[in-house]
Amino acid sequence: MQTNLQFGDKFTAEAGVRYTRVETPIEFTDLVDPALPVTTAKSSVSDFMPSVTLRYNVTDDFHLRANYGETLRRPNFGDLNPNFTLVQDLTGVGYGSGTGGNPDLKSATGKNFDLTAEWYFAEDSAVYGTLFRREIDGLVVPFVQTLTIPGTGLNVDVFKVTRPVNASNGVLDGFEVGFVYFPSNLPGFLNGFGVQGSLTKLNSSQNIPAFDPAGNVIGEDTSEFFGVSDFSYNLTLAYDHYGVGARLSYVWRDDFIARNEARLFANPIGIWHKPESSLDLQLNYDFNEHFSVSFDAVNLTEDMEQSYYAFADAGGPDMFNFGNVVISRSFALGVRWKY
């Protein structure tokens, strides 16, 4: 349900609420003993999620906007895998180790705050700045659980298994500035060229359970959000005219912590990724109002992604390399017919 409100000529508001229910039923075969009946699991999250947007037109060209909204974030599909990869007791400690997923994961819930200023300084051109904050409960993080798993054929039945659970809360805040600029006085075929870009700076923090060597929770550590860079930017050269649409985009993100390695001996240890970038091209041509063709090229420079271990005040990509991946270029050709 949503309603739109207006107060005078300058102030408008949108307010609403939605009810969302997410169910995740799972059926799976036990890989330790496939003869067992199919096992089922099910998790669900339901909530009323309000949203409010307030907009104030300071002038015809300069606007202020404030927004609050609540959202759900579903777990990654791979994290729902209910089976385990197990390693037997290699050191005589009385238990083995392992990794696995968790079919009981629930959706994380988020409260989102935004405050934006927008200046439309010319036709098809604007500059904006945004302050934002995200408060997220139920983040999925690795958790060590002591499980008894008989019939594995290994030398023990007790394992310290690292698996994802909804055991973390976190806050992410920062700002973004950006612009869109299409000059209106370019002559001839040059009319249609433009540029757009944005820059984002943020801080993030989430609590992570801490364990002793036996796998018992003894407190909590604080970490940055997994998979989130503190700094990123993008820049796009654009052209739209005579039925031609073209975008050459460059995206760059700072280094970031990807995850904690599975708990084996001295682990978990943070695995970081070096800064990553991609240069992409999009072309589109409309022959007429019915027929168009498109061409997309992703990662033209074939940049390499590198992950590495990082310790407090030591290490780095040159000393503790974890893995290197070259992401190949990809190309796509498309045709579209409308009638």
Residue located via tokens 């970038």: 277
CA distance 264 to 35: 30
Q: Which of 5-14, 211-220, 321-330 has the highest mean predicted lDDT (pLDDT)? A: 5-14
User: Can you give the pLDDT at residue 314?
Assistant: 63
The residues facing 246 across adjacent strands are: 239, 283
CA distance 179 to 245: 19
User: Per residue in 191-214, pLDDT tens?
Assistant: 889 999 999 999 999 988 777 766
How sure is the predictor about 265, in pLDDT bands with cuts at 50, 70 and 90? very low
More confidently predicted of 47 and 297: 297
How sure is the predictor about 23, in pLDDT bands with cuts at 50, 70 and 90? confident
Kindly state the average pLDDT of the residues 309-337: 84
CA distance 146 to 95: 9
CA distance 252 to 230: 11
Whole-number mean pLDDT of the chain? Answer: 88
Q: How far is CA 317 from CA 135, 256, 306, in A?
A: 31, 12, 8
Kindly state the average pLDDT of the residues 290-308: 93
Kindly state the average pLDDT of the residues 314-327: 83
189 SS3 class: helix
How sure is the predictor about 268, in pLDDT bands with cuts at 50, 70 and 90? low
pLDDT over threshold 60, residue 308: yes
DSSP 215: S
Q: What are residue 123's phi and psi, to 5 degrees? A: -65, 135
Which residues touch 193 (CB under 8 Å, ≥6 apart)?
182, 183, 186, 237, 238, 239
User: Per residue in 282-297, pLDDT tens?
Assistant: 999 999 889 999 999 9
How sure is the predictor about 258, in pLDDT bands with cuts at 50, 70 and 90? confident
- 3-state SS of 227-246? CCCCEEEEEEEEEEECCEEE
Domain limits of the chain? Answer: 2-337
How sure is the predictor about 266, in pLDDT bands with cuts at 50, 70 and 90? very low
Kindly state the average pLDDT of the residues 255-260: 85
More confidently predicted of 59 and 151: 59
pLDDT over threshold 90, residue 259: no
The tokens for 190 are: 């040059």
The vertex-254 CA angle with 252 and 259, nearest 5°, equals 120
Lowest model confidence (mean pLDDT) among 152-156, 189-193, 244-248, 310-314: 310-314
pLDDT over threshold 80, residue 271: yes
105 SS3 class: coil
User: Can you give the pLDDT at residue 124?
Assistant: 87
How sure is the predictor about 187, in pLDDT bands with cuts at 50, 70 and 90? confident
User: Can you give the pLDDT at residue 312?
Assistant: 59
User: Can you give the pLDDT at residue 255?
Assistant: 92
User: Per residue in 162-172, pLDDT tens?
Assistant: 888 888 899 99
Q: Which of 18-32, 159-173, 201-215, 233-247 has the highest mean predicted lDDT (pLDDT)? A: 233-247
Residue located via tokens 């359970």: 209
